[in-house]
Amino acid sequence: MEMAGRMEWPGGGPRAGTKREKFMADNSGDSAYWKANKRLIVFCLVIWALCSYGAAILFRPLLSSIGVGGTDLSFWFAQQGSILVFLFLIFFYAWRMNSIDKEHGVDEE
């Protein structure tokens, strides 16, 4: 039933909402949460850029003397290493975001 623009749920009271909805309604912790989120994203992007572009392209002259699997390290990063680092970053981001969510009270549990 809808009364005066407010949804009434069976059981009498208005819908309580999830933890995430309550958190988003309260703006006091919003900026700290997004600051931590943005900091994590920037950290992951910097690591990704250093491994993908830095090791494979920019630092090629420095890394060409180090051998890995019959080829130089910069070529290995261009072919395999950057993909492995990217996969690691995916799992690291998910793990760290879960802990940030718990710190700010917006975890899924």
pLDDT for the residue numbered 9: 46
Verdict on whether the full-model pTM lies above 0.75: no
Neighbour-count burial of 68, counting CB atoms closer than 10 A to its CB (0-12 exposed, 13-18 middle, 19+ buried): middle
* Amino acid 104: pLDDT: 86
**Tens-place pLDDT, residues 35-88:** 999 999 999 999 998 888 887 778 888 877 888 888 888 888 788 888 888 999
pLDDT of residue 5: 54
Q: Residue 3 pLDDT > 60, yes or no?
A: no
Higher pLDDT, 97 or 55: 97
For residue 69, the model assigns a pLDDT of 80
Domain boundaries, the chain: 29-103
Max intra-chain CA distance, the chain:
75
